[in-house]
Amino acid sequence: MSVRKLKPITPGQRFRVVNGFDAITADKPEKSLLAPLKKSGGRNSHGKMTIRQKGGGHKRRYRIIDFKRDKQDMPATVASIQYDPNRTAFIALVEYTDGEKRYIVAQNGLQVGQEISAGNNVAPEIGNALPLIEIPLGTIISCIELRPGQGAVMARSAGTFAQLMAKEGKYVTVKMPSGETRLILSGCMATIGAVSNSDHQLLVSGKAGRSRWLGRRPRTRPVAMNPVDHPMGGGEGRASGGHPRSRNGIPAKGYRTRSKTKSTNKYIIERRKK
């Protein structure tokens, strides 16, 4: 994977850095795995705006991703690596021996023609999905379940990965992408390898319009608001706005918002770094 810096033939391209898309092998998605995707514009079921800075954006179709990897003990061949507008990672189209096609989140190093599978007695190779208890210690993993059969919920975005640190009883210890170390049930599935498109963090959009294409509307700085609109608003001249805080008054830097009585606190061994 690589990135390309464009020639500054327009002001919007002067600082723009784009993805090289070296890993992409197909430009047309599989029609049977597409679903319509409706935009909310940040409005709830009553039409009231509950999330700001949302709206517009290019029309998309959802790619149905197999996060559960529940078709076990049946090999599949990677047919293509594709771009997905709904996520930062690339996706892989896999075809099982019985002819069924599915999309999965592609891992770094996954190649077209490679054979992958999921199950208990599967080799810990890139793209294969196994229960955590079957994975060797120290292995780089991604697309991790939090409850058995739930489907992958953690380490799914571009370039992210976790590491299996220890096994004890019915739990395994996993170091998460955030730096947090936590216990997860050993029966949960995870995929071997880091998520693809690790160069995503190097991209530079180059112009405000590109954010509009992604469905992001302009954001008003809190210090430019009035006191009625935000805790950091008001003041004479260019007032700094006091301590950084949200619209609801919750401090933005270093303040811990996680509940001390949350039932899952007992599974966290080490909190993520500040």
8 A C-beta contact, residue 139 and residue 165: no
- 25 three-state secondary structure: coil
Closest to 105 (Cα-Cα) out of 114, 119, 94? 94
Element (H, E) at 211: helix 208-213
Contacts 24+ apart (CB under 8 A), 24-29: 24/81, 24/82, 24/83, 24/90, 25/80, 25/81, 25/82, 25/112, 26/79, 26/80, 26/81, 26/82, 26/93, 27/82, 27/83, 29/61, 29/63, 29/82
Mean pLDDT of 17-21: 94
Tell me, what amino acid is at 208?
Answer: A
Is it the case that residue 62 has pLDDT exceeding 80?
Answer: yes
Is it the case that residue 242 has pLDDT exceeding 90?
Answer: no
Which pLDDT does position 271 carry in this prediction? 92
252 C-beta neighbours (distance < 10 Å), count: 11
Which CATH number fits the domain 3-201+264-270, given the four candidates 3.40.50.300, 2.40.50.140, 3.30.70.2500, 3.90.170.10? Answer: 2.40.50.140
How far out from the chain centre does Cα 80 lie?
20
How far out from the chain centre does Cα 20 lie?
20
Is it the case that residue 58 has pLDDT exceeding 80?
Answer: yes
Which pLDDT does position 239 carry in this prediction? 87
Mean pLDDT of 150-154: 97
Mean pLDDT of 216-223: 94
8 A C-beta contact, residue 113 and residue 183: no
Mean pLDDT of 153-177: 96
The C-alpha atoms of residue 197 and residue 204 are separated, in whole angstroms, by: 15
Which pLDDT does position 37 carry in this prediction? 96
* Beta pairing, strands 171-175 & 268-270: unpaired
Mean pLDDT of 106-135: 96
Is it the case that residue 84 has pLDDT exceeding 80?
Answer: yes
- Reported as a pLDDT band with limits 50, 70 and 90, residue 144 is very high
237: tokens are: 């001249």
Segments making up each domain of the chain, as ranges: 3-201+264-270
8 A C-beta contact, residue 115 and residue 122: no
8 A C-beta contact, residue 89 and residue 103: no
Is it the case that residue 1 has pLDDT exceeding 80?
Answer: no
First CA to last CA across the chain, in angstroms? Answer: 30
- Reported as a pLDDT band with limits 50, 70 and 90, residue 64 is very high
- 87 three-state secondary structure: coil
Mean pLDDT of 21-32: 94
What predicted TM-score, i.e. pTM, was given to this entire model? 0.92
98: tokens are: 């019985």
Q: Give, in order, the Cα–Cα distances in Å from 233 to each of 191, 217, 271.
A: 47, 20, 33
**Residue 59, beta-bridge partner list:** none
Which pLDDT does position 17 carry in this prediction? 96
Name the residue with tokens 């989140």.
Answer: 105
How far out from the chain centre does Cα 254 lie?
23
Is it the case that residue 26 has pLDDT exceeding 80?
Answer: yes
- Reported as a pLDDT band with limits 50, 70 and 90, residue 241 is confident
Question: Mean pLDDT, the chain, as a whole number?
Answer: 95
